[in-house]
Amino acid sequence: MSRVFQLAFLLLSLAVCLSTQHATRDAQTVLAAGPPHRNVTKSIAIVGAGSGGLAVLKTLLDLPEEVRSSWEFALYEQHRDVGGLWLPDPNPPHPPALPETPLYPRLRTNTPHPTMTYPGFTFRPGTPLFPTHNYVQQYHADFAEHFNLSSYIHLNHTVLATGWRGNNTHGEWVVDVEYDLGTKVYRRSFDHLIVANGHNHYPRIPHWPGEEDWLASSPTREILHSIFYRNPERYTNQTVIVVGGGASGRDAALQIGPLAKTYQSLREGSVPPDGAQVTVKPPISHFTNTSVVFEDGTSLTSVDSLVLATGYEFRVPFLAQSPPTSGIVSPALEVAPSTTANSTTAQVLTSNLRYIFPLYEHIFSLSPAHPPTALAFVGLPVLIANCPSDRAQALLVAHAIADPTILPSRDGMFTALLRREDNMRQRGYDPYVYGHKMVGGDTEAQDYQNALVRYLKQHGKLPDDGKDYVESWRKASRVHSALLARGWTRIESEGEQQKWLEGVETEDEWADLMQRLAAWQEEWENEHGQGLDEYAAV
C-alpha cells in the first residue's frame, strides 16, 4: 500500500467509524460528508436505477475520457436492485401504504421487446417477443453489468431531500441520502441533479359523491387503485368495475373478466381490449348507499369491488422537500394541483400532478432559481418506448452538462416551450392536462427523439450519419405492434416459439424476425380474418 492510499484508507475508516458512532446515538442524525478524495471538477447525482437512470449513467460514462475523467457520479436507488418498476416488491404492504411497484405477477410487455431496447443492446437470445416482467428486469441488470455501471450505483440509498444553494448562474445541490435500511442519513453536495424517479408510483385516485357511505354500508366492499392489483383470483365470483381504459385497465379487464362479473367504465371513444369479457359502462357519476350510478343514469347494485386504473401523479417528493439547512431559499419543486400558474407565470418549478413545468424539451428545468443544466429530468415522456427515449434524452443531458453553450439561451428555451404548448393546444390538447404525453402517437414520440439527437449532430457533438435516431425497423415494428402481438400469441398457442427464436441474437436478426412475423400473421389474417379474440390477451 502506498502512503497516500494508507492515509486515504485511514481517513475512510475514521469516517465510517464516526458515522457509525453518530448513527447509533441518533439514527436520523445528518452527517456532513468530507471533501471529495479526488480532484473532482464536477459532481453529478442521479436518482433512480430504472430505464431512465441507467441510460443517463451509461451516457455520461460514454463521454470522452478527457471530458469526464475528473467528474464524479453517484446514482442513488432506494431499492435492492436495478430495473425500476420491473423489480418486484418482495413484501407489498397493505393498502393504503404504497407498494414499491405496480408490477403484478402476470405482467407481460405490451410492446415487442426489440422496440423497447437501448439502441445496440438487445434482450438475451431466446427471450419471448412479448416477455413476462422478469425478462425486462433481467435486461436492465444485464445492461448495468455489461457496461460496468455498478460501481457508481448506490443500492438501498434513498434521496430524501434536496435543495439548491445559489443563484441562477452558480450554486450547488445539497442532498440528504438515507441508507442502512433507513437508519442513517448523510448529506452531500452536487453540481448537477438528474431526476429519473419514474412516474408510476403515486396513484391518481378520483373520488365520487356518496363513495364513503357506499363503502361503509357493507364491510366487504372495496375500492383499490391498480397500483395494488396483483392477482385476478381474489375477484373470483365478485361483481367488479374496472375504471379506465389505459394499459393497466386493459390488463385488469382481460384478467378479471373470465373470473368475475366484470364491467369496464370508460370515457367516450375508449373501447375495451379485444377479447375482454366485460360489459362497457360510461364514467361513474356518484354512489348511493346501495349502488354505483353512471353518467347515463344507469346504476349497478351488488358491486363488490372497483379497480381504479386511473393513472399516476407526477410527484418528486425529494424535490418538494428541502434539507433542513441554511442557504436554501425554497423547495425546488412546488406541488400545486389547482393553481392557475403556467409556464409563463410560474416563479418556481411546478407540478400540477399531471405536468411538470416549465421544462425545456421535457428535460431541463427553466426555474429562475438555478442554471438550466443544474436540474434535469429523464423519463418524463409518456406513450413512448422508454429505453430509446431515455437514451436520446440522456445524450442531450450529458452533452449539455459538458458544454452548456450548446443549449439555446434561457429565453430561447422558454420560447420553444411555449411554442410546444401552443402546438398541443392547437391540436385540441390542453398541455396542463396532457402534460408529457406524446399525444401524436408514435410519430410524435419518434420525432421527439430524432429531434434531440439531430440537435446534437448539428452542434457537432455526435457524428452526423444522415440517419434518423429511431431506426426504420423500430418504427415499423411499433406500427405493427398489435399485429405482432396477435401473431406471437398464435405462435405460443402452437408451441412454436423455439423455432422462431432459434439463432436470433443481433438487433438486425430481431428486426428480421418481427418483419417475418408480421408478414406471416398478415397472410393468415387475410385468409382467416382477424377473429382472434381469444388470442389477443397480450
Ligand X SMILES: *[C@@H]1O[C@H](CO)[C@@H](O)[C@H](O)[C@H]1NC(C)=O
Ligand Y SMILES: Cc1cc2nc3c(=O)[nH]c(=O)nc-3n(C[C@H](O)[C@H](O)[C@H](O)COP(=O)(O)OP(=O)(O)OC[C@H]3O[C@@H](n4cnc5c(N)ncnc54)[C@H](O)[C@@H]3O)c2cc1C
Instruction: Single out the residue of 129, 196, 242, 300 in contact with ligand Y (rule: CB under 6 A).
Output: 196
Residue 111 interacting partner from ligand Y, ligand X, none (CB closer than 5 to 8 Å by kind): ligand Y
Instruction: Single out the residue of 20, 236, 409, 415 in contact with ligand X (rule: CB under 6 A).
Output: 236
Comparison of 147 and 473: residue with beta carbon closer to ligand X: 147
Residue 217 interacting partner from ligand X, ligand Y, none (CB closer than 5 to 8 Å by kind): ligand X
DSSP string of 172-224, one letter each residue: EEEEEEEETTTTEEEEEEESEEEE---SSSSB-----TTHHHHHHT-TT-EEE
Residue 148 interacting partner from ligand X, ligand Y, none (CB closer than 5 to 8 Å by kind): ligand X
159 binds ligand Y (CB under 6 A): yes
| Residue with the three cell numbers 402452437 | 494
Tell me if residue 488 falls in helix, strand or coil.
Answer: helix
Grid cell digits, residue 485: 402481438
Q: CA–CA separation, 428 vs 124, rounded Å?
A: 42
Q: How many residues bind ligand X (CB under 6 A)?
A: 24
Q: Helices in 459-536 by DSSP H: which ranges?
A: 472-479, 481-493, 497-501, 507-528
Interactions with ligand Y, residue window 370-399 (CB under 6 A): 379, 385-386
Residues in the chain: 538
Grid cell digits, residue 380: 418524463
Comparison of 21 and 167: residue with beta carbon closer to ligand X: 167
Residue type for position 78: Q
Q: Which stretch binds ligand X (CB under 6 A): 182-190, 342-350, 374-382, 473-481?
A: 342-350
Comparison of 231 and 339: residue with beta carbon closer to ligand Y: 231
Q: Which stretch binds ligand X (CB under 6 A): 224-232, 308-316, 343-351, 383-391?
A: 343-351
Neighbouring residues of 224: CB distance < 8 A, sequence distance ≥ 6: 95, 305, 306, 307, 308
Instruction: Single out the residue of 167, 415, 458, 472 in contact with ligand X (rule: CB under 6 A).
Output: 167
The dihedrals phi and psi of 250, each to the nearest 5 degrees, come to -65, -45
Q: Which stretch binds ligand Y (CB under 6 A): 81-89, 211-219, 364-372, 428-436?
A: 81-89
The dihedrals phi and psi of 225, each to the nearest 5 degrees, come to -75, 155
Residue type for position 155: L
Q: Which stretch binds ligand X (CB under 6 A): 141-149, 246-254, 297-305, 512-520?
A: 141-149
Grid cell digits, residue 464: 452526423
Instruction: Single out the residue of 91, 151, 169, 426 in contact with ligand X (rule: CB under 6 A).
Output: 169
For 89, counting Cβ atoms within 10 Å of its Cβ (0-12 exposed, 13-18 middle, 19+ buried), the class is: middle
Q: Which stretch binds ligand Y (CB under 6 A): 101-109, 280-288, 366-374, 422-430?
A: 101-109
For 26, counting Cβ atoms within 10 Å of its Cβ (0-12 exposed, 13-18 middle, 19+ buried), the class is: exposed
Comparison of 220 and 340: residue with beta carbon closer to ligand X: 340
48 binds ligand Y (CB under 6 A): yes
Q: CA–CA separation, 462 vs 386, rounded Å?
A: 21
Neighbouring residues of 313: CB distance < 8 A, sequence distance ≥ 6: 202, 203, 204, 353, 354
Q: Smallest distance, Å, CB 11 to ligand X?
A: 17
262 forms bridges with which residues in the sheet? 240
Q: Smallest distance, Å, CB 89 to ligand Y?
A: 10
Q: CA–CA separation, 115 vs 386, rounded Å?
A: 9
426 binds ligand X (CB under 6 A): no
End-to-end, the C-alpha distance of the chain in Å comes to 58
Q: Which stretch binds ligand Y (CB under 6 A): 6-14, 46-54, 347-355, 362-370?
A: 46-54
Interactions with ligand Y, residue window 217-276 (CB under 6 A): 247-248
347 binds ligand X (CB under 6 A): no
Instruction: Single out the residue of 418, 439, 451, 476 in contact with ligand X (rule: CB under 6 A).
Output: 418
Neighbouring residues of 35: CB distance < 8 A, sequence distance ≥ 6: none
Nearest to 36 by CA among 28, 45, 27: 45
User: One symbol per residue from 272 to 301: x for binding ligand X (CB under 6 A), - otherwise; what is it?
Assistant: -----------------x------------
The dihedrals phi and psi of 311, each to the nearest 5 degrees, come to 90, -170
Q: Which stretch binds ligand Y (CB under 6 A): 23-31, 196-204, 320-328, 414-422?
A: 196-204
302 binds ligand X (CB under 6 A): no
Instruction: Single out the residue of 121, 147, 520, 524 in contact with ligand X (rule: CB under 6 A).
Output: 147
Q: CA–CA separation, 229 vs 521, rounded Å?
A: 32
39 binds ligand X (CB under 6 A): yes
User: One symbol per residue from 372 to 411: x for binding ligand X (CB under 6 A), - otherwise; what is it?
Assistant: ----------------------------------------
- The secondary structure of the chain in percent helix, strand, coil, rounded to multiples of 5, reads 40, 20, 45
Residue 340 interacting partner from ligand Y, ligand X, none (CB closer than 5 to 8 Å by kind): ligand X
Residue type for position 106: R
Q: Which stretch binds ligand X (CB under 6 A): 14-22, 142-150, 262-270, 305-313?
A: 142-150
Which pairing describes strands 299-301 and 42-47: parallel, antiparallel, or unpaired? unpaired
47 binds ligand Y (CB under 6 A): yes
Q: Smallest distance, Å, CB 285 to ligand Y?
A: 28
216 binds ligand X (CB under 6 A): yes
Q: CA–CA separation, 141 vs 118, rounded Å?
A: 13
Interacting residue ranges for ligand X, rule: CB under 6 A? 39, 41, 80, 146-148, 155-156, 166-167, 169-170, 213, 216-217, 236-237, 289, 340, 342-345, 418
Interacting residue ranges for ligand Y, rule: CB under 6 A? 47-53, 76-79, 84-86, 102, 107, 109-111, 116, 158-159, 196-198, 200, 247-248, 318, 379, 385-386
